[in-house]
Amino acid sequence: MFRALQVIVRGERRALPGSGFVSRFSTASNSQRLAGKVAVITGAASGIGKATAAEFVRNGAKVIVADVQDDLGHVVASELGAEASYARCDVTDEAQVAAAVDLAVTRHGHLDVIVNNAGVVGSLAQRPLGSLDLADFDAVMAINTRGVLAGVKHAARVMVPRRSGSIICMASVAGVLGSMTPHPYSVSKSAVIGMVRAVAGELARSGVRVNAISPNYIPTPLVMRIMAEWYPGTSADEHRRIVERDINEMAGLTLEPEDIARAALYLASDEAKYVNGHNLVVDGGYTVGKVPNLPAPPQ
């Protein structure tokens, strides 16, 4: 028997007057779903990382804004207030990743969440495989894959002894579908998804969860740079239209950085306490709804 009568209001469980039931899954903007938690977010000076930092602070977390864009990073941390601070962190340098993690522990006593978000696309030249620039490949892998692994490693170093923590790795639909981006980027994001699967079981035995998020294209500064190089004869407004309308499966809706931030918020929160080794694809059905590029049938 239910101890309290409940109603469903816009996806939130609420009690009827006098029932005494209060939902802990409130979607209110001030729900404080990360109250008391400490997070490091790499690549947090712009785009998805910036939106995630804002969402985490809004929900009660203390955040280390980690990036190599010093001016932007300081501005973001200042805008977020006393609960945020900036740390320079080049994820290709393992020592800097370790230092960002140690800063969180030194300043706040512990680390609950890391979002390994820093990434680059590399050369946008659509070269055939036989002309692949392996130096460009190495540079992309150093940030998008090795840099993520460094974040996983050093977050685990401080989370495992506490037997608690959430590690979130930013992948991409380019790691789910081939031929969407130049090969180095696609391979690097596929490797992130594989990395999550490789380590999730080991860390689960210590109470630490590891998950990935795979967004579709969003008009972040990085994606808009891609559009400008691929479509040099068209305007920025047209580039945004391509991203928001043409690369989109959800009629009437636009994927925004805040949508990915809320996905990260869920994975970081205790609501996802049993979600581990998962790749959360946030693409409106793009990777399952595309028509295969097959030859036209004979007439």
Domain containing residue 12: 1-31
Packing angle, helices 70-80 and 47-58, rounded to 10: 20
CA distance 144 to 121: 9
- Asked if the structure places residue 100 within a domain, the reply is yes
Given 86, 185, 217, 286, the catalytic residue: 185
- Asked if the structure places residue 281 within a domain, the reply is yes
Q: Is the pLDDT of residue 6 over 50?
A: no
One domain, residues 117 and 24: no
One domain, residues 48 and 141: yes
pLDDT in tens, 181-194: 889 999 999 999 99
- Asked if the structure places residue 209 within a domain, the reply is yes
DSSP 21: -
Q: How many domains does the chain have?
A: 2
Q: Is the pLDDT of residue 180 over 90?
A: no
Confidence of residue 20 (pLDDT cuts 50, 70, 90): very low
- Asked if the structure places residue 235 within a domain, the reply is no
Contacts of 291 (CB under 8 A, 6+ apart): none
One domain, residues 191 and 209: yes
**Interval 17-24 mean pLDDT:** 36
- Show the CA angle centred on residue 235, arms to residues 234 and 236, nearest 5°: 130
SS3 of residue 187 by DSSP: helix
- Asked if the structure places residue 73 within a domain, the reply is yes
Predicted local confidence at residue 22, as pLDDT:
35
Cα separation values, 84 from 42, 44, 75, 79, 240, Å: 13, 11, 11, 9, 30
pLDDT in tens, 119-147: 999 988 778 889 999 999 999 999 999 99
One domain, residues 150 and 273: yes
Least confident residue range of 26-30, 67-71, 131-135: 26-30
Q: pLDDT > 70: what percent of the chain?
A: 87
- Asked if the structure places residue 112 within a domain, the reply is yes
With a threshold of 0.95, does the pTM exceed it?
no
One domain, residues 151 and 194: yes
- Domain CATH number, residue 149: 3.40.50.720
One domain, residues 11 and 130: no
Buried b vs exposed e over 121-148: b needs ≥16 C-beta within 10 Å?
Answer: bbbeeeeeeeeeeeebbebbbbbbbbbb
Do 243 and 36 form a contact (C-beta atoms < 8 A)?
A: no
Q: Is 185 a residue of the active site?
A: yes
Packing angle, helices 183-204 and 147-159, rounded to 10: 10
Least confident residue range of 11-15, 32-36, 104-108, 210-214: 11-15
Predicted local confidence at residue 1, as pLDDT:
34
One domain, residues 181 and 98: yes
Predicted local confidence at residue 3, as pLDDT:
37
One domain, residues 79 and 180: yes
Confidence of residue 297 (pLDDT cuts 50, 70, 90): low
One domain, residues 54 and 151: yes
Do 255 and 282 form a contact (C-beta atoms < 8 A)?
A: yes
One domain, residues 48 and 165: yes
- Asked if the structure places residue 14 within a domain, the reply is yes
CA distance 21 to 24: 10
CA distance 33 to 31: 5
Predicted local confidence at residue 231, as pLDDT:
85
Confidence of residue 47 (pLDDT cuts 50, 70, 90): very high
One domain, residues 2 and 128: no
- Asked if the structure places residue 240 within a domain, the reply is no
One domain, residues 24 and 65: no
**Interval 264-283 mean pLDDT:** 98
